[in-house]
Amino acid sequence: MSETRSTDDPSSGDPSGALSAVPAAGSRRGLTVNGSVKYFYGPMDCGKSTLALQMDHNHSRQGRRGLLLTRLDRSRQGQITSRIGITREAVEVDDDMDLAELVRKSWAAGRRVDYLIIDEAQFFTPTQVEQLTQLADDVQVDIYAFGIATDFRGKLFPGSARWFELADEVLPLQVEVLCWCGRPGRFNARVVDDQIVRDGATVVVADTVAPAEPGTADAVRYQVLCRAHHRSGDLGPSSGEGTLPLTSQ
């Protein structure tokens, strides 16, 4: 097509044409650097909370000040708890909390905030995800969010969808969780009485406890499956073993 381009086409080599609208590298130095927004996602039991706390440790060791936020953590006590036993105090967020306001209040109280660690990031509302990304843009706070991409039906959580749309980087966690068949497990099946269920509330608040009494109405657990076995509902030869016993509250 280039041979048909006329010589007065502004894009055909004239430095005063379209390309000169892009500023030279040097003129960008005056721009404020944004905080970065990273969304790390993986299935249940892939160690997200452990990695969230490790991320906090790495940054605080460099003298940075962080704020930890969570929703519906398995402890339900305003903290981030990992399955390998590490625990840190965290702000328990609810649907109505304005997270920009939360950070402003922290500053007003003289507490610097350089970064935010968001655990259970899939449970934050899309509006809250927007508030967090705006903090990165407006006041250069770094946002490190850790969550589950899809719910028990294999559909994106609304919060996760917003993270996928807005984050600077979306990173699958590298800790593999396997289905009973050995394939990578990416789906969190909800299981009641050893049967996969496909209808119900998006969020069944759950905590890791001893297996619930079989046969009780609220005995719910989750099991990580591959796509094929999530579709077929096959929970494997020893369903119940090596899975997460969870109960609805």
Q: Which of 92, 120, 165, 169 is catalytic?
A: 120
With CB under 5 A, what is the number of residues at the site for Zn ion? Answer: 5
Q: Which is nearer to Zn ion, 158 or 240 (CB)?
A: 240
If you write DSSP's letter for every residue of 107-125 in order, what string do you get? HHTT---SEEEESSGGGS-
Q: Which of 88, 162, 186, 229 binds Zn ion (CB under 5 A)?
A: 229
Distance CA(179)–CA(144), nearest Å, equals 27
Of 77 and 195, CB closest to Zn ion: 195
DSSP codes joined into one string, 201-239:
-S---EEE-SPPPTT-TT-EEEEEE-HHHHHHT---TTT
Which member of 19, 171, 181, 209 binds Zn ion (CB under 5 A)?
181
Helix axes 126-139, 99-108, angle to 10 degrees: 40
Q: Catalytic residue at 120?
A: yes
Q: Record the tokens describing residue 134, joined without a space.
A: 């705006």
233 sits near Zn ion (criterion: CB under 5 A): no
Give me the least distance between CB of 237 and Zn ion, in Å please. Answer: 12
Residue 182's identity, in one-letter code, is G
Instruction: CB nearer to Zn ion: give 19 or 181.
Output: 181
Residue 179 sits in the site that holds Zn ion (CB under 5 A): yes
> Which residues of the shown chain bind Zn ion in the complex (CB under 5 A)?
179, 181, 183, 226, 229
Catalytic residues: 120
